[in-house]
Amino acid sequence: MRKPLTETDRQETLATLLASGWVVCDNRDAIQKQFIFENFTVAFQWMTGVAIEAEKLGHHPEWSNVYRTVDVVLTTHDIGGLSELDVALATRMDAMA
């Protein structure tokens, strides 16, 4: 079963993500980030690659794409908040961007 991040996990793992541009959502236990790419094609290629990684993890982002901008929100719905899956997917997204 998936477990929520502990306070220690939040301090250690979220610090790295926050330093790379992720922010904690004000109204829910989630993180979000906006990725901006060279053009629509590059943004869509990135989304395709992320979709493959998300399938491998069995964890899927909330996201929207307008032209070269992709807005992402990550949370683990079945536990109602952040888990290690969100950290893993966010880390992969950053590496792929």
pLDDT at residue 1 is higher than 80 = no
For 65, the 3-state DSSP assignment is strand
For 59, the 3-state DSSP assignment is coil
Strand order across the beta sheet in which 23-24 lies: 23-24, 31-36, 69-74, 62-66
pTM of the model: 0.95
Predicted local confidence at residue 92, as pLDDT: 98
Establish how many alpha carbons lie within 13 A of residue 33's alpha carbon, considering only the half-sphere containing its beta carbon.
Answer: 20
Burial class (CB in 10 A: 0-12, 13-18, 19+), 35: buried
pLDDT tens figures, 32-85? 999 999 999 999 999 999 999 999 999 999 999 999 999 999 999 999 999 999
Domain boundaries along the sequence of the chain: 7-96
Architecture of domain 7-96: 2-Layer Sandwich (3.30)
